Amino acid sequence: SQQGEEDPQALSIQEGENATMNCSYKTSINNLQWYRQNSGRGLVHLILIRSNEREKHSGRLRVTLDTSKKSSSLLITASRAADTASYFCATGQTQGGSEKLVFGKGTKLTVNP
Amino acid sequence: DVKVTQSSRYLVKRTGEKVFLECVQDMDHENMFWYRQDPGLGLRLIYFSYDVKMKEKGDIPEGYSVSREKKERFSLILESASTNQTSMYLCASTHRGRDYEQYFGPGTRLTVT
């Protein structure tokens, strides 16, 4: 199966700035999810957007989904040093009557104090 | 608080050894997953299970097998460990169906020498 691709691979910004990460994929999907990973740890779910939704908000996070372009973006507003982490998009796809996630390679975000 | 636990944070094994990685979840989830994570490659799905004694191959099942004898426990088995299986292994669980987030364990960093 095709992995999603995040863009950029790495992003460095100053505290207070906004961070935008993009994700493209190639197959039809049930949903698209974003996860965060602090260095060397497990992943934490941030937000899920269904295939029939176009935009979703959660706190300082805003996610958009364009199924015609097979792309999504994650916007983190007013970034903080604590937002420093790797961010992964994952597409929910049906296999064997169940749903699996196909992850991208991630964007490494550094927020400088 | 929901929890996915993995038996070891760090593991060092020799080439040719049989290796067991254990994952336990306390959320009564039907679906469980094993991923490996390598720098620059993101997370790749090895196997998943949507019920006791059921399993589905992921994208990279070669060299691995799995066991799910109880709902809360999902084991990844490396029949004969090789150096190219040195990686971070992540376990996750979720509800059956679609549009659910996955909950991840902290990961096991396996080194095969």
Mean pLDDT for the stretch of residues A56-84? 97
Residue A2: which pLDDT band, with cuts at 50, 70 and 90? very low
| Mean pLDDT of all residues belonging to chain B | 95
Chain A residue numbers touching B49 (CB-CB < 8 A): none
All residues of chain A having their beta carbon less than 8 Å from the beta carbon of residue B42 are: 3, 88, 103-106
Nearest chain B Cα to A42, which residue? B106
Q: Is the pLDDT of residue B111 over 60?
A: yes
Q: For residues B62-83, give the mean pLDDT.
A: 97
Looking at residue A1, what is its pLDDT?
40
- Residue A16 pLDDT grade (very low, low, confident, very high; cuts 50, 70, 90): very high
Number of A–B residue contacts, CB under 8 Å: 73
pLDDT tens-digit readout, B11-26: 999 999 999 999 999 9
Which of B37-63 are b and which e, b meaning 16 or more Cβ less than 10 Å from the residue's Cβ? beeeebbbbbbbbbeeeebbebeeeee
∠ at Cα A109 (A103, A87), nearest 5°? 20
Question: Would the pLDDT of A6 be above 90?
Answer: no
